[in-house]
A and B are shown apart, each in its own frame.
Chain A
Amino acid sequence: MYHFGQVDLFQRNLKLDLSCYVMALTKLLTQHKDAILQRWLNLIADTYPTEASAFLKGKDRFSNPVGYTISQEINALYEELLQGRVDSDKTAASLDNIIRIRAIQDFSPQEAVSFVFLLKKAMLEELGSEIEKEQSFREWLDFEPGIDKLASIAFDKYVECREKICELRVKEVKADKEIAVKLLNLVGGANMEHGEVME
């Protein structure tokens, strides 16, 4: 009996300890959510030239769609990440909304997607020594791959956007040709160069 009681006690303690362990980082991240998101937003805005970054920190939906989209979507991403739902449709949609913008701006592919990693920087800067405490750090090691996963989804989205741009470009060129062909059929001519029809 005594023996079993000891095991019970041990299990109960272990359970208790585990719950503390699971909560530590999540609690920290929840408590510091606003500050971390602000830092993340600032870091993303700083990937733009200095004169533009201050503007991008604004959040008016219509006069500043880039700043608004980034601030809304990083909020959603953060929530999903805390809930451990990095594979959710919501995560994919949020990443798509940000990447769709960065894919056509003046960024190289790695610059376009690396804004995801800036979350690590924002968290480490905000939480500082807190995260280095043993429990938090061990949890951090489990948590961090989630951010890496976000970055890899972001890369997928980037490629999708670039492929879409190629598709649209081909469509436009094709449409241009379609008109030319239609006109050629109408006038019954052939072998005529664009801009020199029927000369």
Chain B
Amino acid sequence: MSDEVAAPEELLEIDYRPPKKGWMEPTVEFKKGTYCYGAPLKHQEYLGLPNPRQWQPPDEDWQLPENWKDIILEGMDELLNKYRSFRLFMDICVRCGACADKCHFFIGSGDPKNMPVLRAELIRSVYRKHFTLPGKLFGKMGGARELTEDVLKEWFYYFYQCTECRRCSVYCPYGIDTCEITMMGRELLNLVGCNIGWIVEPASNCFRTGNHLGVPPHAFKDTLDFAVDEIEELTGIKVEASVNRKGAELLFITPSADYFASPHWYTLMGYMHSADMAKKLNAKMYAEAKRLGVKWILGGECGHMWRVVNQYMDTLNGPADYLEEPVSPITGTKFENSKSTKMVHICEFTADLMYNNKLRLDPSLNDHWRLTFHDSCNTARGMGLIEEPRYIINNVCNNFYEMPENTIKERTFCCGSGAGIGSDENLEMRLRGGLPRANAVKHVQEKHGVNLLTCICAIDRATLPTLLQYWVPGVEVSGLHELVGNALVMKGQKDRTTDMRGTPFEVEES
């Protein structure tokens, strides 16, 4: 090498373009800030996960079991037989490219393997090699490739760069759900012990205590009392928050991040990493409803819970025939859409109260906010909860501005931090994924002076503040019911001088 000295003119020839590499060559570099840490050993052991060990993604040796390849391929075979959708999605894609530019991670990073089609090809190529005749016969020419450790590392890197938001599937002419492909990829990785800390640790804590931080019941009760006191201080009204009351009409379940006011939410997406784990953790909701003898369940402002409730709960742990078809005790409205799951979203409940004029509201108490609404993937795209939050907003605020049509409702851009990847060590990747959302927020900030982004998902509330501080400084984040709380006028309340954050109205209005 040292004998070959390039001529001066050669040295001046700088190629700015990255080297060309075929997508089939699996090369992944785990750079700090762009991957999630591996799961801690004690939590792997607590949940009885396979191949428990202390490891990190940048390690050269992932300490895989000797027969890891067999485990993955057998697991794939099992999943292909268990879920018809998985086999269908493996076979049916014609690589039309409709999904290619719809992923927020691709848009934000420019990394081609974040095109949903190419991300799916990472696993599809292995499927072809081991489960299809053309793949076995033609190998690389037939789009098939061998399962190697590098391929496995690539799976880990890219399947933990998908937030399972399903925006790509809205545009797919075949309706291929890349989210499910990611779920399958993660499930296979889990079989050989490759899982991330922010999924395993909260899942382990949830399994033990029912919340992602592992906080015991009496601390939870203290937190609620703390909130009750704060409301009394702000409004002069002492509300009653009963916990574990047997015979209550309904059970309210909210994302655990909400009741700890935590900026981090990482649990509920964690359920998704394994269907078995989801079943175990989800079963707690029905079990508690049964124990307390309530009629039905009311869910808090949570995105993922809503999708799990409507798409998985009934088949995982239903039918909940010991519960009743939900009827609002205040308005008498029957929530027929929840006939089967027996669970109502708080936005449906509140919107119904407003529709029936059961709440006295003063929208001017939110005049210090010029807000826009972020449709969370799971509620909007996943479950069609699109009009209810807007109905509530229009009842409690005077300054509401929508973001552009192709960035909201069922075409909403993901926050870029869901599906277990909202950890602080993964911040740079999250900033990439959050760019398309923030870009639309920036537009309404410039055009309408928007200073608040409202949403109904706990993970959004946890992660969007940081992303907006980088991309759109000056825009804050809130939940929808915070605005309802601001606008609510209750009998016997004292003169309101501050909003729910304790910020004096005059100061913000000036």
Chain B hits for A63, CB < 8 A:
101-102, 107, 406, 436
User: With A104-B432, A169-B427, A197-B213 as given contacts, are A164 and B108 in contact (CB-CB < 8 Å)?
Assistant: no
Which one, B260, B407, B427, B466, contacts A183 given CB within 8 A?
A: B260
The yes or no answer to A152 lying at the interface (CB within 8 A) is no
Taking the closest CB of chain B, its distance from the CB of A195, in whole angstroms, is 4
Which stretch (A5-13, A54-62, A124-132, A139-147) binds chain B? A54-62
Does B205 contact A195, Cβ atoms closer than 8 Å?
yes
Of the four ranges (under 10, 10 to 19, 20 to 34, 35 or more), the interface on chain A belongs to 35 or more
* Contact present for B260 and A179 (CB under 8 Å): yes
Interface range on chain B: under 10, 10 to 19, 20 to 34, or 35 or more? 35 or more
What's the least CB distance linking B95 to chain A, in Å? 12
Give the contacting residue for A56; candidates B110, B223, B431, B469; CB below 8 A.
Answer: B110
- Would A106 and B260 be within 8 Å (CB), given that A100-B471, A195-B201, A198-B219 are in contact? no
Nearest A-chain residue to B18, judged by Cβ: A49
A168-B219 CB under 8 A given contacts A52-B106, A61-B443, A195-B213:
no
Kindly state whether residue A1 has any CB partner on chain B within 8 Å.
Answer: no
Inside 8 A of A173's CB, which chain B residues have their CB?
424
Check if A114 is an interface residue, CB within 8 A of chain B. yes
For chain A residues 79-122, which have a beta carbon within 8 Å of chain B? Answer: 100-101, 104-106, 114, 118, 121
Q: Give the Cβ gap from B403 to chain A, nearest Cβ, in Å.
A: 8
Residue A175 at the chain B interface, CB threshold 8 Å: yes
- One of A43, A101, A105, A187 near B16 (C-beta < 8 A): A43
Is A62 touching B407 in the complex (CB atoms < 8 A)?
Answer: yes
A172 in the interface, Cβ–Cβ < 8 Å? Answer: yes
Within 8 A of A (CB), among B459-477: 466, 469-471
Q: Is A16 an interface residue (CB 8 A)?
A: no
Chain B's closest residue to A187 (CB) is B219
**Is B226 in contact with chain A by the CB < 8 A criterion?**
yes
> Which residues of chain A have C-beta atoms less than 8 A from B109's C-beta?
105-106
Asked whether any CB of chain B lies closer than 8 Å to the CB of A186, the reply is yes
Compute how far the CA of A51 lies from the CA of B108 in the bound complex, rounded to whole angstroms: 14
Most buried by A among B31, B110, B407: B110
Contact B219 A183 (CB under 8 A): yes
- Among residues of A, the one whose C-beta sits closest to the C-beta of B100 is A55
Would you give the 0/1 interface string for B78-119, flagging 1 where the beta carbon is closer than 8 Å to chain A? 000000000000000000000011100011111110010010
* B54 contacts partner chain A, Cβ-Cβ < 8 Å: no
| Whole-angstrom distance between the Cβ of B499 and the nearest chain A Cβ | 21
Contact code string A34-54 (vs B, CB < 8 Å = 1, else 0): 000000000100111111100
Asked if B304 lies at the interface with its beta carbon under 8 angstroms from chain A, I say no
Closest-CB distance, A89 to chain B (whole angstroms): 16
Against B, the Cβ 8 Å flags (1 = close, 0 = not) of A171-183 are 1110110011001
* Chain B, Cβ-Cβ closest to A178: B263
- The answer to the question of B439 belonging to the interface, with a C-beta cut-off of 8 Å to chain A, is yes
**Cβ of B404 under 8 Å from chain A:** yes
Answer whether residue B222 sits at the interface, using C-beta atoms and an 8 A cutoff. Answer: yes
Cβ distance A37 to chain B, nearest Cβ, rounded Å = 17
Answer whether residue B364 sits at the interface, using C-beta atoms and an 8 A cutoff.
Answer: no
Minimum CB–CB distance for B143 against chain A, Å: 15
Q: Determine the chain B residues whose CB is within 8 A of the CB of A61 once the complex forms.
A: 439, 443
Q: A56-B110, A65-B107, A104-B432 are in contact. Are A50 and B466 (CB under 8 A)?
A: no
In whole angstroms, what is the CA distance A169 to B431 when docked?
11
- A66 at the binding interface (Cβ < 8 Å): yes
In the bound assembly, the distance between CA atoms of A132 and B213 in angstroms comes to 68
Residue from the list B17, B20, B226, B260 in contact with A47, Cβ < 8 A: B17
CB of A165 within 8 Å of the partner chain: yes
A66→B108 contact, CB < 8 A:
yes
The answer on a CB contact under 8 Å between A195 and B466 is: no
Tell me which residues across on chain A come within 8 A of B33, comparing CB atoms. Answer: 165
A-B contact pairs, 15 of them (CB 8 A): A49-B21, A50-B17, A52-B106, A52-B110, A66-B110, A104-B431, A168-B469, A168-B470, A172-B263, A179-B262, A180-B213, A186-B222, A186-B223, A187-B218, A194-B214
Q: What are the 3 tightest A-B residue pairs by CB atom distance, in nearest-first order? A: A51-B112, A65-B439, A48-B110
